[in-house]
Amino acid sequence: MSFAAMKVFRSMTEANSAQAAPIPSAKWTRFARNPRLIAMLGFGAAAGLPYALLIGTLNAWLGAAGVKVSTIGILSWIGLAYAFKFLWAPVLARVPGPLTFWLGQRRGWIVPCQLVIALCLFVISGTRPPEDLGALAIAAVIAAFASATQDIAIDAWRVEIAGGDTGIDLLSTAYQFGFRLSALIGGAGALILAERQGWPFTFAGMAAIMGVAFIGALFSPEPAANARTDQRAPGEILADAAAAPRQWRNGAVLLVAAGWGWAISAISGFMIKALAPVAGAAPVSAGAFIASMGPLIVLATIILPALCAAFLGACGGSLSRPASDKVSATPLQRVSDHIYYSLLTPLEEMIGRLGPACLLIVILVLTYRITDSIWGPFAYPFYLGELKYSNDEVAFASKIFGVIMIIAGVGLGGVSLLRLGRMPSLVLGAILAAATNLLYIDLARGGAGLDAFLHLLRLDVLAEGLHVSPKLARLMVVIAGENLAVGYASAAYLAYLSSIVNVRFAAVQFALLTSLTLLVGALGRAPLGEFIEERGYAAGFWITFLLGGIAVAVSLAEWARQSRNARRSKQPVPGE
Classify residue 376 by its DSSP letter: G
Mean pLDDT, 10 residues at a time, the chain of 576 residues: 40 38 47 74 88 88 87 84 74 70 81 93 92 89 92 79 63 73 85 90 94 82 60 60 76 91 88 77 79 85 85 73 60 79 80 86 87 82 89 85 84 86 92 94 92 90 88 92 89 81 67 73 82 90 93 94 83 56
Distance separating alpha carbons of residues 47 and 77, to the nearest angstrom = 19
Task: Tally Cβ neighbours within 10 Å of residue 444.
Answer: 20
User: What is the domain-level CATH number for residue 174?
Assistant: 1.20.1250.20
Is residue 345 assigned to a domain?
yes
Residue that is last in its domain, among 174, 200, 229:
229
Classify residue 231 by its DSSP letter: -
Q: Do 190 and 274 reside in the same domain of the chain?
A: no
Q: Do 223 and 251 reside in the same domain of the chain?
A: no
- pTM tops 0.95, yes or no: no
Q: Do 439 and 345 reside in the same domain of the chain?
A: no
Task: Tally Cβ neighbours within 10 Å of residue 390.
Answer: 14
Q: Do 384 and 349 reside in the same domain of the chain?
A: no
CB 344 within 8 A of CB 87: no
Q: Do 221 and 288 reside in the same domain of the chain?
A: no
Q: Do 334 and 247 reside in the same domain of the chain?
A: yes
Q: Do 170 and 67 reside in the same domain of the chain?
A: yes
Per-position DSSP letters for 173-188, written without gaps between them: HHHHHHHHHHHHIIII
Range of the domain at 343: 232-319+329-355
Amino acid letter for position 4: A
Q: Do 214 and 279 reside in the same domain of the chain?
A: no
Classify residue 166 by its DSSP letter: B
Q: Do 239 and 173 reside in the same domain of the chain?
A: no
Beta bridge partners of 166: 163
Is residue 195 assigned to a domain?
yes
Total domain count, the chain:
3
Q: Do 362 and 510 reside in the same domain of the chain?
A: yes
Is residue 244 assigned to a domain?
yes
Q: Do 456 and 573 reside in the same domain of the chain?
A: yes
Distance separating alpha carbons of residues 166 and 341, to the nearest angstrom = 30
